[in-house]
Amino acid sequence: MTTCSAPGKVYLFGEHAVVYGEPAVPCAIERRARVTAEKRSDAGLRVNATDLSLDGFTVEYGDGDGPPNVDAPRSLVEDGMSYVEEAVTQARDAAGDPEAGFEVTIESDIPLGAGLGSSAAVTTALIDAATRELGTPLAPREIADRAFRAEYEVQDGQASRADTFCSAMGGAVRVEGDDCRTVDAAELPFVIGFDGGAGDTGQLVAGVRRLREEYGFAATTVESIGALVRSGERALADRDLSELGRLMDVNHGLLSALGVSSRTLDDMVWAAREGGALGAKLTGAGGGGCIVALDEGDGARTALSYAPACQEAFRAELATEGVRVEDP
Ligand code: MEV
């Protein structure tokens, strides 16, 4: 039995545009998914997920093709299970053991589909745990690459390397196409607001793709996000928090122009700003879920905790460690 964990993340800058080769800077945060993999004597796959911000569910896959035995809403389970299945496929492939079966247990304090990288964290931690269980441990960069391939399959080729690389490596990272690097970033005063909801990453990414194909201004907006990220990198290197906040505000505006914000995300962004944040933006695919703000004091968190749109407000520390082995 092997247990590994991997962190979630927030996007300081660049989500969506990163899908089209522009740079992005996600930062890992200390909210983790823990995944235990135990090799079975047959080729079956059984998954227990007890704490994914939805009712606990158990899914049993036999080694045949029969439908899974499920005790939770099917669409939610199917979304989550696609990542699990692709991660197991990658682990089997890496270990050269296509018939390997597993008991998988997932515990996560990263809400599903809320922009904090829950699927990347589960995929990354599962690939690490399952390959170790098969006696073929992988280096974090290889895990990142395998996790990206799993996400790419699930999201029909509409995925960047940003979420999975960040989750595998930890800290702040910079991703531009296939060029993935860690960035030397000091601790940033992140505050997160969560509306209790979720967005559908596949649909949101497809919406931006359609808009970009239809209108030149949308393609220009995507390029503008890339230019903004380059300015943001300079501010990050100088640890110029007020410039970072200002650029986060602009990034939120550009994401809204691409149609991926929502009423509750906008309300939380404004609550954080009015509470004194240096800047605030949605994080991840959007549509609902989380915003990230920069605030050294307690004003933004307090304002968010009173905002009707916000279900939970918390401070998030940078997770300096990426995927790692845990005591079972
Ligand atoms: C989702 O967390 C981030 C997106 O940029 C999609 C991706 O990078 O794969 C919207």
Residue 51 falls in the annotated catalytic set = no
**Would you say the CATH fold of 190-316 matches that of 2-184?**
no
Which residue among 10, 165, 201 has the greatest number of ligand 1 atoms within 8 angstroms of its CB, and so is best to mutate? 201
List the one residue out of 41, 50, 58, 43 whose CA is nearest residue 89.
Answer: 43
Give me ligand 1 centre to Cα 99, in Å.
31
Pocket test for ligand 1, best of 9, 10, 19 (most atoms within 8 A of CB): 19
User: What are the sequence ranges of the domains in the chain?
Assistant: 2-184, 190-316
Ligand 1 pocket, CB under 6 A: 15-16, 18-19, 159-160, 162-163, 201, 205, 284-285
CATH topology classification for 2-184 = Ribosomal Protein S5; domain 2 (3.30.230)
Burial class of residue 72 in the structure, from the number of CB atoms within 10 Å of its CB (0-12 exposed, 13-18 middle, 19+ buried): middle
The CATH topology of domain 190-316 is Alpha-Beta Plaits (3.30.70)
For residue 252, how many C-alpha atoms fall within 13 Å in the half-sphere facing its CB? 25
pTM above 0.85, yes or no: yes
Tell which wins on pLDDT, 202 or 291.
Answer: 291
Q: What are the Cα distances from residue 178, in Å, to 12, 23, 165?
A: 19, 10, 10
Share of the chain above pLDDT 70, in %: 91
- pLDDT 10s digits, 87-138: 999 999 999 999 999 999 998 888 888 899 999 999 999 999 999 999 999 9
pLDDT digits (tens, 9 = 90+) for 17-36: 999 999 999 999 999 999 99
Ligand 1 atom 9 nearest Cα: 159
CA of 159 to the centre of ligand 1 (A): 6
Catalytic residue among 51, 109, 156, 163: 163
Inform me whether the pLDDT recorded for 63 exceeds 50: no
Question: Higher pLDDT residue, 146 or 107?
Answer: 146
Contact by Cβ (8 Å): 28, 319: yes
Which of 12, 13, 22, 160 to mutate for ligand 1's pocket (most ligand atoms within 8 Å of CB)? Answer: 160
174-201, pLDDT tens digit by residue?
999 999 999 987 789 999 999 998 888 8
Q: Is the model's pLDDT at 269 over the cut of 70?
A: yes
CA–CA gap between residue 288 and residue 266 (Å, rounded) = 10
As a whole number of angstroms, the distance between CA 142 and CA 83 comes to: 17
What are 203's two structure tokens? 């649909």
